[in-house]
A and B are shown apart, each in its own frame.
Chain A
Amino acid sequence: MSVEDRVRAATLARAALVRDVRPLDLPAIPARPPRARRWVAWTAPVAAAAAVAALAVSLAAVRHTPKAPVAPAAVPAASGTLPEYYAALDNPSGPITQILPGKHQTPVSLRVGDDRTGKLIATITPPDGQTFAGLTAAADDRTFVVAAEQFPVQQFSPSANTVAWYLVRLTPGSAHPVTLTRLPIPGEPAGTQVSAIALAPDGSELAVMSQQNVWLPKTGPLTISLYSLATGTSVRTWTVDTKGFPAGFGWYWGRYSNTALTWLNGGHTLAVMYGINNSASGPPFTYGFTNVTIRTVDANSPSGNLLAISKVLFRLPNGAGRAGTDCDTVQLTGDGKTVLCGEDAGNTLKRSTAYAPKFAAYSVATGKPRLLYQLPGAYGIGLADVLWASPTGSTLLGSVYTQATWGHGPVDQTAGLLTNGMLKPVKFPLTAVPFAGEIAF
């Protein structure tokens, strides 16, 4: 082995021993808001999780060379770039949306990769009897939370409940670059649908939007809970009485959206997006959401009625051609100024062939939309998903899905970075192009 190789191996091995650093102790300033998040809070779950069943994942050690001059998510990144690392759900048998009871099923695994190099860092299969179902990321580009459900899937998707939550930590360049640790956050009761999740920027708390008995009699209130990752306890719970109707907002079954909840103001404020579906009799879920509203709530507000303690930030206009909004996926940007919308540009239910996926940006201040991109052509199905957006919305990762005629012919799906009116394709080493909620940065 050459001296250079020995230096590489020794420095990587020594650096890998450094797993955590203490929080930054900046001088206090007079008008500091009451919610003082400490960076140490997101390192705490690792220690706390030692008390619960910890799952050490055996991974092939993939050598990853740390790169210096890059800007991860929390940093004002240059326009047109993604955060370096991502985690994505992957079903070896095809899109995860095709997992249905009564059909051949394969558990959904988690793939962690580096989009700068295109390399896959690790594939994590779920624990026996579980399948991964949703995921969300902190702002450090290294921390993710993943939801798991029972496997095989026994019930129609909306009724499947979260049975476990896991913390995924990425340590590039170490012998075990990815670790999976079960969190003490409890699973959801049977019949409870989780419609959205969002990990706080510092990774200390998980926001979960859920509803009991969706599509069943006695549908419960829409509930937004904040869980401490360190202790697993619910620190806040806010509810909305939806008069027995399903509520929430998210692509497909309306489950595990990682864009319907957005942390703002460095984690001091939570933006909650939901609509009430009082027109459809069952899933697909997004069609029929009316009066989709984004509300902001101070994360320190006491538990109780969300409507009483939150403010309306934005209302999405209802679509012209159908009940509810034209947006299939919606993302409020991290600066709270723009609402990004992935539209199908028409009423897909009418089985016309005149639709094209498009992305639009609404100004929160004026309510006016601006067309960002429209896929050329006309299709029977044309969907646009917002997968990720930079804090100002200047960079958007989206996917477009088309089929020439409704239910017939080949399906085309592409993920790409949207900048300056162009969609530059981005390939991920996944079995299928991810839909919204299936990838996090």
Chain B
Amino acid sequence: MEARQAEQTRQQVAALYQAHALGLVKLAVLMVGDQRAAEDVVQDAFLGLYRRWSALQDREKALGYVRASVLNGCRTIHRGRYRRSRIRLEDPGHAESAEAIAMLGEAHREVLAALRRIPDRQREAVVLRYYLDMTEDQAAQAMGVSRGTVKSATSRGIAALARMLKEES
């Protein structure tokens, strides 16, 4: 019986992964800039879901749980990169693969580079609002913050991006 339940859980989590992994990796790529790292973050999030599945009260909220885990994972990667960059003097903005960089136009590259230089919370708010077209309420739920925080983070993020893009033009 236990084995059957475990298999059922595996299938349910695998089905969720099949349905949402691509979208979540895209989201994570925008946060961390690198597909391999993004896939790691998403895999970790689903592994976390798999382990916690039996404790999950409301399965309808599974996607929200995974999305929040992905955002958390991206923050962790950024913190790690920041620490490494201080030691190795690496530019965290160079996480993009060469292929991806080549396929994007100059204008898009500037925006993405600027996006990676703003603080985590601002980046999350901007991406959730303008890439996923989430409402402020939806973004607040995904980030685990208040609507007001989303509003101010978005506003500050856009202002910072505007400054950076103006400076570069």
Contact call B7/A33, Cβ cutoff below 8 A: yes
A4 on the B face (CB < 8 A): yes
- Inter-chain contact total with CB atoms closer than 8 Å: 150
User: In the complex, what distance in Å separates the CA atom of A9 from the CA atom of B46?
Assistant: 29
A128 on the B face (CB < 8 A): no
A7-19 contact mask (Cβ, 8 Å, vs B): 1 or 0: 1111111110110
Comparing A69-77, A298-306, A404-412, the segment that makes contact with chain B is A69-77
A39 on the B face (CB < 8 A): yes
User: In the complex, what distance in Å separates the CA atom of A336 from the CA atom of B19?
Assistant: 21
A104 on the B face (CB < 8 A): no
Q: Which chain A positions have C-beta within 8 A of B165?
A: 3, 6
Contact call A14/B29, Cβ cutoff below 8 A: yes
In the complex, residue of chain A having the shortest beta-carbon distance to the beta carbon of B163: A3
Q: Which chain A positions have C-beta within 8 A of B60?
A: 71, 76, 78
Comparing A60-68, A237-245, A363-371, the segment that makes contact with chain B is A60-68
Partner of B15, one of A7, A25, A33, A75: A75
Chain B interface: which size bin?
Answer: 35 or more
Q: Which chain A positions have C-beta within 8 A of B43?
A: 22, 24-25
A51 on the B face (CB < 8 A): no
Contact call B158/A3, Cβ cutoff below 8 A: yes
A385 on the B face (CB < 8 A): no
Q: Which chain A positions have C-beta within 8 A of B35?
A: 18
Q: Which chain B positions have C-beta within 8 A of A15?
A: 26-27, 29-30, 131
Q: Which chain A positions have C-beta within 8 A of B22?
A: 18, 20-21, 142
A3-B165, A15-B26, A140-B19 as given contacts; A10 in contact with B132, CB under 8 Å: no
Q: Which of A14, A33, A266 has the most CB of B within 10 A?
A: A14
A7-B131, A9-B108, A22-B39 as given contacts; A29 in contact with B13, CB under 8 Å: no
Binding site for B on A (CB under 8 A): 3-4, 6-15, 17-18, 20-22, 24-27, 29-33, 39, 65-69, 71-76, 78, 139-142, 201-202, 266
Given A21-B21, A30-B3, A32-B10, 16 further pairs, Cβ under 8 A: A7-B130, A8-B131, A10-B104, A10-B107, A11-B115, A18-B22, A18-B35, A20-B22, A26-B13, A29-B6, A31-B7, A67-B132, A71-B60, A76-B12, A139-B19, A141-B19
- The 19 listed contacts between A and B (C-beta, < 8 Å) are A3-B158, A3-B162, A8-B130, A10-B115, A12-B131, A14-B29, A14-B100, A18-B26, A24-B17, A24-B21, A24-B43, A27-B50, A29-B7, A31-B4, A66-B132, A68-B23, A74-B15, A75-B20, A75-B62
**Pairs of residues from A and B, 9 with the lowest C-beta to C-beta distance, nearest first:** A31-B3, A10-B111, A15-B26, A74-B15, A11-B131, A10-B108, A24-B17, A266-B11, A65-B133
